[in-house]
Amino acid sequence: MTPEEFKEALAQKGIELSPKQLEQFEMYYEFLVATNEHVNLTAITAKDEVYLKHFYDSLLPALEIPDLSQNAWTLCDVGAGAGFPSLPLKIVFPQLKVTIVDSLNKRIKFLHELAAKLELDEVSFYHARAEEFASKKSPFRESFDIVTARAVARLSVLSEFCLPLTKVGGRFIALKAQKAGEELAEGRYAIKTLGGKLQADIETTLPKSDEKRHLLVIDKVKETPKKYPRKPGTPAKQPLEAPQGRK
């Protein structure tokens, strides 16, 4: 997907990118590839692939969930890595108030520099483990309208990272690929335990490649019990699973 095809694909969805926004994506690409030479940010560096599998892919939540693009939501991106999906969303929908959490300081440094280059405001960066950032003593706990995560962990683990950060009445959106159904089946207990309820499993495809993508939209319907998230490392080692005989 060339930058021109990227622009055209979004135009077909009713999103007209300004010259400044197109320039921001170009700067994003150039800085990503340059930094990736000495900091491991992405295995995808070919320009057509970055525009399709990183930039366009990151915008899928707003393309498939209309109200996401229409309000000044507070959005927390957990394990953002090279800034996906939150920074492409912020470029296209500048009213979003974005908070990025990542456990690797080198990535946070890259994102901080990137946001400055792109002249993005109302973007905050935190070097932290998700379990600490969402702990019962954290001022960020249950404070975000939208929490996103892409390519971070399986849903049973991811829910323990993200739902404690989602305010009651807010949404946790997990960006997944082909194995979403399998992850959803094993993650239902965790979602319920942590105060969530599946609203939708939206299946879509990337243009040109027809690769399948799933957006798992989980409503936060009640407060997360204070004992979650557990201490750093525990969710990944011992994912929340239903006791035998229960679902």
Using alpha carbons, select from 223, 24, 203 the residue that is nearest to residue 121: 24
Binding residues for S-adenosyl-L-methionine: 79, 84, 130-131, 150
The residue count of the chain comes to 247
Domain ranges of the chain: 3-237
- The number of C-alpha atoms within 13 Å of 146 and in the hemisphere containing its C-beta is 28
From first to last of its 247 residues, the chain has per-residue pLDDT tens of 999 999 999 999 999 999 999 999 999 999 999 999 999 999 999 999 999 999 999 999 999 998 988 899 999 999 988 999 999 999 999 999 999 999 999 999 999 999 999 999 999 999 999 999 999 999 999 999 999 999 778 999 999 999 999 999 999 999 998 778 888 999 999 999 999 999 999 999 999 888 999 999 999 999 999 999 999 999 999 999 877 645 5
- Binding site members: 79, 84, 130-131, 150
Query: pTM of the entire structure?
Result: 0.93
3-237 topology per CATH: Rossmann fold (3.40.50)
Name the one residue in this structure whose structure tokens are 């001022």.
139
